[in-house]
Amino acid sequence: MAEAAPENEGDEVVRAWRTLAPLMDLVTPMALRAAATLRLADLIADGSGRIDDLARQSAADQDALGRMLRHLVCHGVFTEPEPGRFDVNAAAELLRSGHPAGLRLGLDLDGFGGTMDLAFTGLLHTVRTGEPAWETVFGKPFWPYLAAHPEMAASFDAVMSSADAFVTDAAGGYDGSTARQVADVGGGTGAFLVELLEAHPDLRATLIDLAGGRERGLDDYTDLASAAGPHIAGVHTTPLGHVVLDCVPR
Ligand SMILES: C[S@@+](CC[C@H](N)C(=O)[O-])C[C@H]1O[C@@H](n2cnc3c(N)ncnc32)[C@H](O)[C@@H]1O
């Protein structure tokens, strides 16, 4: 005779499915990225929200776009107040360009944000070998890849400095009262250093980053140059291929 099922075993199985099912889903994360890439939150908020308009404005297939949007509606992103017309809700608002969280850029499959996410298709390689997945997926190691793709390098810099609120909070977390000189090694285009200099205008600051294939023009450091108080005292490259930029108080 078969053993009686332990009490509540059914509940446990349901809980197990509820845990596992969302973790198996690749459709929703990709739908979110596709929606961010097509700037659907902006188009819907600023337009009629009708699927025919959206398909035209985003140069997408109307039927496929509608199905994808309905999938996101089912997961709580966007609403469909009437058939074929979509609206932006609080979750979709987070995907708008210019939102201080910088999410849209971070999910954009045409830029660095979404491309970086695709590197996770190589996770098994990393787990098997302990090596980074980037080269397996994109054909070159990470920094050489960026050096060979200037548009992706620019997008990388944009993503790094896009979350204004995060950069401001991070810079505000430093006690600059005792420091006279800071060095930001791997400081990118200086978004973090700008905030630090705004908060502590008497600091001397040095930014060091990769030059070479990723050489950034001085124009990229305009914000740094105009930050309150300090100004750029010098910029030079080293034989090891670094760009070094010094700021001193005015
Ligand atoms: C994660 S990003 C940080 C960006 C920057 N802190 C910001 O807030 O925008 C890492 C930076 O490290 C730089 N980097 C990578 N390898 C480096 C190296 N060997 N020496 C100096 N900088 C390097 C990259 O060019 C990139 O700008």
d(CA 179, CA 158): 28
Helix (H) or strand (E) segment spanning residue 87: strand 85-87
Each of the 250 residues of the chain gets a pLDDT tens digit; together they read 455 555 687 899 999 999 999 999 999 999 999 999 999 999 999 999 999 999 999 999 999 999 999 999 999 999 999 999 999 999 999 999 989 888 999 999 999 999 999 999 999 999 999 999 999 999 999 988 998 898 998 899 888 877 667 778 888 888 877 888 889 998 888 888 888 888 888 888 898 888 755 566 666 677 777 776 677 788 888 888 788 888 887 6
For ligand 1, pick from 161, 184, 209 the residue to mutate: most ligand atoms within 8 Å of CB. 209
- pTM here is 0.81
Distance 113 CA to ligand 1 centre (A): 16
CB-based burial label for 248 (10 Å; 0-12, 13-18, 19+): middle
Map out the domains of the chain with their CATH numbers.
14-93 (1.10.10.10), 111-160 (1.10.287.1350), 164-248 (3.40.50.150)
Enter the tokens of residue 5: 């099922």
For the chain, what's the residue count? 250
**Given the CA of residue 167, which atom of ligand 1 is nearest to it?**
8
**Given the CA of residue 193, which atom of ligand 1 is nearest to it?**
8
Angle between helices 164-172 and 191-199 (to 10 degrees): 50
